[in-house]
Structure 1
Amino acid sequence: MSSILVIDDSEINTMLIKSIFEEESDEISVYVELNSKNALATIEQLMPSIILLDLMILWSKWRGDFAGN
């Protein structure tokens, strides 16, 4: 299963986060493109729901909607 989240913000320009979930190994690969710079990170032994929740929190902070900011 794969998931793509696109964030377009005036302060961040364009960020593309692509998560690839490998069911057999429970390995999550996150591809991040920010301001034309690429980074590749592999996160092991984490559930996809935790990653998606973290991304939602980050998106909320960037949009200024996160409670407590």
Structure 2
Amino acid sequence: MSRDLIKTMTYLSIHLLVGFTVAYVMTGSVKIAGGIALVEPCINAVAFFFHEKAWKAGSWKERLAQPLAG
């Protein structure tokens, strides 16, 4: 198994554990916390996809490369 895949899987595990823990502490419900822990990463993946598309297509990239005026 590649190092990148292992790193991705361990990060996903941490993300799910943190999401579940936060949701459980806030709701006190294992069922709700489990649902949130599973749904949130899926929604986040879709949001990241569109973020990447916007980042690649954005004409504002050149402006970010310029030093800040001030």
Q: Give the number of the structure whose residues are more often helix, by fraction.
A: 2
Q: Give the number of the structure whose residues are more often strand, by fraction.
A: 1
TM-score calculated relative to the size of structure 2:
0.32
TM-score calculated relative to the size of structure 1:
0.33
